[in-house]
Each structure stands twice: as structure tokens, then as C-alpha cells.
Amino acid sequence: MNRLLDELRGPVPPRAHDARAIAALAANPGCARRAVLDAAGVDKDGTARHLGFPAPFGQSQFAITRGNAFEALVKENGCAELLRLLRELLGLPVAQVGYQDVENVGSHLRASHTRALIDRAVRDRDDSAVFYDHPLLGLEIAGHTSYLEPDVLAFQLGGRFHIVEIKSFAVIDGQAEPEKVAAAARQSAVYVLALRALLEDLGHAPERVSHDVVLVCPENFANRPVATLVDVRRQLAVLRRQLARMTRVDRLLEGLPPGLTFSLAPDAEGVPTRSAGELAEALSQVPARYAPDCLSTCDLCMFCRDEARSCGSTDLLGRQVRDRLGGVAGMSEALGLAEGTVEPAEDQEEIAGVLRLANRLREECLA
Amino acid sequence: MSALLALAQLRAVRDGVAQPVTTVRHCHVADRPMVFVPLKLAGEAAAPLGAMVGTDPEHPRLLVVPQPRNRDLRFAFAGELAEVLLPYVEGFGKTTETVERKSGEPYERCLDAPQIVVPNRPAVAFTGLLGRSTRFRRADGPYPVHPSVPLLGRWLTYFADRSAQPGSSLLLAATEALGAHWATGQSGLEDANLAALLGWIDPPAGMDGRRAAEEAEDPLLWPPAGPATDPGFDNEVLGPAIRAYEEAPTARAVERISEALRTQLEPTWRLVWRAVELLRALPEGSRVGDRWEADRGSFTRFTERIAEGGPPQARRDGAVSAAARLAGLERARAAYDVQRAYDDPLVMAEYRLSGEAFAGVVTAAEPERFEGEGRSRKLRPLVTVRTDDPVRLAPGTAVGSPDRKGHGAEVVEVAGGEVVLKVTKGMGRGRTPAPGAVPEPGERVCYTSLTDDFQTSAALPDPEETPWTHGGPPAEYVPDDDDAREEWA
Ligand code: SF4
């Protein structure tokens, strides 16, 4: 299967998934196109660009600067401020805390260094608390190990670990934007899973990693950080399900034509050798399941939306609308059923009745 | 989401233009609304970057914060915004009418109220945050600000809070107001883009809605309607302009930032006014006036609260007031839904589709029919209505009708496309029904089980009697020095 995936990707290195990308995997679990591309480690962003459908996911320098500044503040002086917050939050009698920056070793050693540090922490079981900054964690996705470089910390005390995620959106009078909290929870769940996998691999109990992650955000309008526990059990469950589904990607691969590839192999100038047309043709071989949510989660959204438009799919209007239309896939078909110009199939009698009534009511009220 | 709405969307796709989902307008549009288009600095909760504000579409006031991280400049911005907004708002407090009440003293109510229109829901949230970050400031003490700043904060908080009330029109988000009246050929997510939404509703000549919406997604042609800015603009235009200002805070540097922000604000400014005009052009629903009256009442009470020197709104609601507020919002939501249906046959059609309402023609009527004997003898006319609607009303269900005020009936029987009703209310005091009180054969009528009288919510204790399980009675919120000094970094 790996050979097949390599072929799909072409002679370019597989794209590492960051936690954001992994968290987004769970966003549209029904999409085969995305499952296959992710399993093969295809660069979706590059693909979208080459197709002429870049995703509108820019980031403002102001947001980046602010995020970095806040993170630096929280980590200042060996995470002194963070320690204070955790002491209050977890009710821990921590006097001293160690700080291990895994980034200090060369990048090729970081994964093994992280591994060794975590292993030692569990074995020694001493009472000192330790922050592990910039750990490098691996997570198996569809047979490939993806490396995650969290901007988060793992906090360890007495052999128990908490993932600490620093975000720069504000908590104002105890409330933050729910979508942002949800996104942070999804991301943290990825780290919890990766750290648990590591412990398990080392022969330790994975439950040593708490499902309560520590979210650190600025409070109100100042820069002062505040810490909150977020339970990510639900996110973990969704993630596990989705990852399990991706290991079954072989079934999705079975139906694909032989020799299919999404290769972005560049020429001497760095431009992909294949034409955008060929690439689009190749993509269309793997069925997508476009939904408006893709617009905020998947790099291929503009391409898939365009495709859904050209085939007049009811998906364009959103899942709710599609459900309301009784799952009828084509917009003109649904309209035809409503206006009585299309004969309903056997299983469409009911929805056709509703649509015809809706149509009559509209005509009557707007006459 | 109903099949009717889904159908309207399908039509919009086919015809290339948004389709009406109402026959009348359900929000109030003021004669002289104030449009407010704020921008905030990316990555910050409530750091204003600039705004366009005013009541004259031809003459917006442009407010700019040349260095959005600078606290003094932010308060200067708040002060300038107050200069525009407060006279507008306070102007409405001056003319009042006396309202007589059946029980209780007559009271004063403002004849009209202010209306603020912002581009979208995030702008409403930002308005609330701007209010939150300014209302506790003080004109005296260690970090004095201009006295207008905390007052502005209280008003902004008031408007943002009030906008959670279904049916209120004091603070409108243009995307939501438009979305309540038109269905487009795109998803709800895409409708949140004001330019794209208006592209569908009112495409430029020679262009269809989808094309116009597509064009609207290009941030170079149509900058985002805020408060978030386009990251490309931040990185390529605004960033360098702010750096230039930091190096040399000259009038020219400020001008450069102003001009940059103007390019981002002006298109949205025009769109919001376009939205106001489109909404204004719709015929007003008959119950819009009642809801605006409630808005005027609410506005009057808040004006009085400020005049009496009441404290700024608390940071958080206590348990009882939070519960009371939620119950109030639920009631308002239910009332708003019913009122819209009574005002608008196309909204009523939703309930006809679900079987909670039906329309048809009267085939028989027995106006002088009585039930009971002696003193309990009552006038109970029967009316038979023929309908093609899929009626799902059980015998005994009380129904009302948008055609007759105060009229009430009860379902007797539903069978074979005919509904037999017994009229129970609204026939006058005479021995026989008042003229016109009972529908006559041949008349088109509509009945529904939706009614406007709601169960009052489970009685909530007064705030002073909050049970200890809910934190006990809240201490009245008295803002302290820390509130006034709170960092706004
Ligand atoms: S954008 Fe396309 S590939 Fe991505 S999840 Fe949506 S449908 Fe699938």
C-alpha cells in the first residue's frame, strides 16, 4: 500500500502534517479525495496553487507577531509565569520546576531526544515538575509517521503529563470565542494522542497523559495570561475514528485507475512538470464530498467548490439544505421535482411531495 | 432551514439572482440610521484600527488609530467615536410622549430611537467588546480619560446587548437583516460576506448574482467588511505604513495610514448604505411598529438609567438575572416568530408546510349557532374550510387567524381536505356575531395553531433571593479602581 501512496504523491517528499492539518482531518470525514491525498502526504496547498485555485488562508503579520510575543511572555524565565498559573489551576504544591528545551539539540535528534526525556521522566518519578518545550512527537497516519512540532509544552509532575497550549485569543470576563476554543481543543487532542502513543510505545500507561489540556490565553484586554482546563475526550474520540478510517485508505485506493498520480515533481525552475489540466483530471478520479465547511478547513476548497458548481451539486448550499432536499444530489433535479417537470424515482415520492407543496405555496404567496 | 427556503435557494441559483423569502420587511429601518464600520487589528481582541461612521452616506467620518498598540491613541479613537455617536444617540432622548397605562402610572417614552447599522455579526461582537473595554474607565483617578469615553462604553454595551433580542432593530447587522429577507444561491457561510450577499441580491447591470458574488470574494476588489482585515492588506500595505509612522510620527505618516484604511472601509461603507436602501424599499410588516415601540421603550429606560447616574453594566450577569435574561430572549424569539408569520403569508407558508397552519376557502358557515343552556348558553358558530394543505392539527386545538384580530377558534374535525372550526373568540358582545366576525362562504381564510400569548416563564426569584447554589445574592456591581485602570494593551 505504501508503494501505491508513494506513486500517488510522485517523487517528492511526503508532506508532514502539522497538528492543525491533522485536526482538520476530522472536519470532513466523508471525503475520499482528502483521505487519499492526506494518506499519500500530497502537498494540498501546492496542488491548489498549481491548479489555479489557491485557498484564501492568509495570515496577518500582526496576528503572528502578537502570537509570538504572548508565547514568549508566558515562557519567560523558564516558564515562571506558567508555573504560577498551573500551581493555581491544578492545585499543585510545586516549588521548583525544571525546564527542558528540546529544540536545543539538532533537529535530526529531536524525536529521539524527546523520547528519551519522556521515558526518563516516567521512570524516575521524582517529584520535580518539568516543562518540555518544543518536543517533537510522531503520530502514525495511514502507515506514515508524521512529525508534529507543537508550539506547546508538555508539563510533567510525578509521572503525569499535561499538554499546555498557548493561544493568543483573549478570554474576556471568562468567555472566549467558542470557535477558537473548539479549534484549540481539536489541535491539543492531536498532541495528547501523539504523546500517549509515545508512552505506549515506551511500555508505559498512556493514561499518564491527561485528557485535560491546559489552555493558556491572555485575559481581558491585557497581556496577562490565564489558564483553563479543557477536556478533550470528545475530540480524541473523533480523531481516533478518523485516523482509523485513514488506515483503511487501502479500500479507497482499490478503485483508483492504475498509474494515477498527483505528482508535483518540479522541473529545473521549480515549476511542476505536469500541466494544471492533467492534475485536475487526476484529482477528479477520486470522489470529493464538498461542503461549505471546506472553505475554512481544506486547501482544495476552491477547486472542489468549482467542481461542485460545474455539476450543479446541492452540496454547494450546505448540508442542511441538502438534507432538506431529501438528499437529492442535483440542483436542477430537485427543482424539477418541485416544479413537476421531473418524475420522482420510487424512493423520491415523499420528498417530491414536500417540494411540490413548497413550490405551490411559494407561487401562491408571491403571486 | 425549511424546504421552502431550500427551494428559494435553488431558484436563486437557476435565475442567477437572490429570491425573496418574505413579502414584507420585518425589521425597522430608521429615517436617519447611523452606519458604523469598524476595523480591528488582527490578533487582538479589541484593538480598534479605524472606522467609518456617520448618518450621511456622502460624508462618512473616518477615524484612524495610527498605532493600534498605543493606549493613548486608542482612547483618542474612543473619544472621537463618542463625538460622533453620543450626540446622535442623545438627540433621541429629548422628545418624548406620555404613554397611558391600564394599570399604573403613565410614563414617558422617546418618540423615536437611534438605529446603528453595522456590516455583520462580528462587527456587533466588536461593538460589544469596544464597549466592554471603555465603560469602566474614569475621567478622574490615576488613568483619566475623557468623560465621554466611559459613556460611549455604556452605550456600545447597551446596543450590543440589545441586539441579542430577537426582533430588536436598535443595532442591525446588515448581513443578517438582508439574509432574513432574501435567499441566495450560495451557502450560509458565504452569505456572511456582505459584498457577496449583496452581489446576489443586487448584482451590477450585466452581471448575474453568482458572478458578482465571485468577484466579491477577491479582497483586492472588495476588501473584507471587517472588523477583520485582509491579511494581504495587513502585510503589504498597513504593516509598512505603521512602521513608517513609528519611525516618524508625522502628519504625512498618519495621512498614509488614513488613506490605506479608507480604501478598506469605503467599499463596505457603500455596501451597508446599499443594504439600508434595499431594506427600506420593502413594504413594512404591520407588527414592525410594535417591536420598534418596544425598542423605544428599552432605549428610554436606558437613557433614564444613565441620567440617574446608575453604574455601568456589570462584567457578568448574576445567576438570576442571567436566567431571567435567557427566559426573556426565548419569549422574544417565540413572539417574533409568530408575529412574522401573522404579518407575512410567505412566512406563514412555512407553518402550512409543516401542518401547523392551513389556508383555504370557506365552504359553509353556521354563524348563529349556540352551545349550552341557560346562563352558560354561548355563541359558537361553525365554519367549514376547504384546503389543499396537509393539516396536522388535532381536534380541540386552539387556532388564530392573521385575517382577524382577536379572533379565535377551535378545531372540531379534519377530514378529506376539509376542516371544521368552531369560532370561540372575537365576535363582539351582542347576541349574534358582530358583522364580519364569522368568515362567510367563499371567503379565503388562514388559520394557525401559533398564537401570540405565551406562557409566562417559571417564576424566577428576585436577584436578592438568589439561592446559594447559584452563588447567592449578587453584590451590586461597583466598578473599582482596577476596572478603571484595566490594561488595554
Ligand atoms: S475541499 Fe475538496 S478535498 Fe478538501 S475536504 Fe472538501 S471536498 Fe474534500
DSSP for B154-188 reads HHHHHHHHHTTSTT--SEEEHHHHHHTTEE-SS-H
Give SS3 for B314.
Answer: coil
b/e per residue B454-475 (b: at least 16 CB within 10 A) = eeeeeeeeeeeebeeeeeebbe
At residue B203, the pLDDT reads 95
A268: number of CA atoms within 13 Å, CB side? 0
A131-145, B357-371, B415-429: least confident range: A131-145
Minimum Cα–Cα distance from B45: chain A residue:
A170
The alpha carbon of A282 is separated from its chain's Cα centroid by a whole number of angstroms, namely: 24
Same domain for B359 and B258, yes or no, is: no
CA angle B51, B53, B58 (to 5 degrees): 120
Nearest to B43 among A66, A173, A354 (CB): A66
User: Is B362 a member of any domain?
Assistant: yes
Whole-prediction pTM value?
A: 0.91
Are residue B310 and residue B397 in the same domain, yes or no? no
Q: State whether B11 and B117 are in the same domain.
A: yes
Listed ranges A63-67, A192-196, B41-45, B346-350; the one with the highest mean pLDDT: B346-350
Q: What is the dihedral of CA B253, B258, B259, B265, to 10 degrees?
A: 160
Question: What's the Rg (C-alpha) of chain B?
Answer: 27
State whether residue A225 is helix, strand or coil.
strand
Ligand 1 proximal residues by C-beta, below 6 Å: A 28, 31, 33-34, 288-290, 294, 298, 300-301, 304
Average pLDDT over residues A12-36: 77
Å from CA of B207 to ligand 1 middle: 29
B131 CA: distance to closest CA in chain A (Å): 12
Q: Are B306 and B363 in the same domain?
A: no
HSE of B61, CA atoms in CB hemisphere, 13 A: 14
Predicted confidence band of residue B364 (pLDDT cuts 50, 70, 90)? very high
Helix, strand, coil distribution of chain B in percent, nearest 5: 40, 15, 40
Burial call B152-178: b when 16+ CB within 10 Å, e when fewer? bbbbbbbbbbbbebbbbbbbbbbbbbb
Query: Do B310 and B351 share a domain, yes or no?
Result: no
Lowest mean pLDDT among A169-178, B328-337, B374-383, B465-474: B465-474
Alpha carbon distance B337, B166 (integer Å): 9
Total domains, chain B:
2
Contact A235, A246 (CB under 8 A): no
Using CA positions, which residue lies closest to atom 2 of ligand 1? Answer: A304
- What is the per-residue pLDDT for B457? 42
Whether the Cβ atoms of residue B450 and residue B356 lie closer than 8 Å to each other: yes
Cα distance from N-terminal residue to C-terminal residue, chain A: 61
Residue B191 lies in a domain: yes
Q: Are B43 and A361 an interchain contact pair (Cβ–Cβ within 8 Å)?
A: no
Distance B429 CA to ligand 1 centre (A): 67
Q: Residue B361 — very low, low, confident or very high, per pLDDT cuts 50/70/90?
A: very high
> Looking at the structure, do residues B164 and B24 belong to the same domain, yes or no?
yes
Please tell me which of the candidates A221, A224, A332 has its beta carbon nearest to residue B488: A221
Give me the domain span that covers residue B361: 345-448
DSSP conformation class of A347: G
Same domain, B88 and B197: yes
Instruction: Give the ipTM of the model, two decimals please.
Output: 0.89
pLDDT of B456 reads 42
pLDDT digits (tens, 9 = 90+) for B161-199: 999 999 999 999 999 999 999 999 999 999 999 999 999
Closest-CA distance of chain B to residue A218, Å: 9
pLDDT in tens, B458-477: 445 555 555 555 555 555 56
**Cα A297 to ligand 1 centre (Å):** 8
Residue A14 has pLDDT above 80, yes or no: no
Q: What is the pLDDT of residue B428?
A: 85
Q: Does B483 fall in a domain? A: no
Residue nearest to atom 7 of ligand 1 (CA): A290
Nearest residue in chain A measured CA to CA from B187: A317
Please report whether residue B189 resides in a domain. yes
Ligand 1 atom nearest A31 alpha carbon: 8
Return the residue whose CA atom lies nearest to atom 1 of ligand 1: A301
Average pLDDT over residues A165-177: 89
Whether B78 and B206 map to the same domain: the answer is yes
Predicted pLDDT at A127: 64
**Are residues B272 and B399 both part of a single domain?**
no
Closest CA to A83 of A196, A214, A180, A244: A214
Query: Domain holding B431: CATH number?
Result: 2.40.30
* Angle of CA points B292, B175, A332, to nearest 5°: 120
Examine the domain organization and report whether B312 and B350 are in the same domain: no
Determine the length of chain A.
367
For the segment A91-97, the average pLDDT, to the nearest whole number, is 71
Q: Is the pLDDT of residue B57 over 60?
A: yes
Structural domain includes residue B218: yes
Reply yes or no on whether the pLDDT at B337 is more than 90. Answer: yes
Percent of chain A at pLDDT > 70 equals: 94
Kindly state whether residue B78 falls inside one of the protein's structural domains: yes
Question: Which residue among A25, A28, A242, A311 is best mutated to probe the pocket of ligand 1, counting the most ligand atoms within 8 A of its Cβ?
Answer: A28
Instruction: Give burial (CB, 10 Å; 0-12/13-18/19+) of B310.
Output: exposed
For residue B203, count CB atoms less than 10 angstroms from its CB and return exposed for 0-12, middle for 13-18, buried for 19 or more: buried
Q: What is the pLDDT of residues A101-152, one digit of tens each?
A: 877 776 667 788 888 888 888 887 666 678 888 888 888 876 667 777 766 7
Asked whether residue B76 falls in the same domain as residue B168, the answer is yes
Rg (CA), chain A: 24
Pocket-testing residue among A246, A290, A297, ligand 1, by greatest number of atoms within 8 A of Cβ: A290
Check residue B479 and give its pLDDT.
65
Phi, psi of A172 (to 5 degrees): -110, 120
> In this structure, are B11 and B68 located in the same domain?
yes
In a domain, B435, yes or no: yes
Instruction: Give the mean pLDDT of A153-167.
Output: 83
With CA atoms as reference, the chain B residue closest to A367 would be B23
CA distance B190 to chain A (A): 8
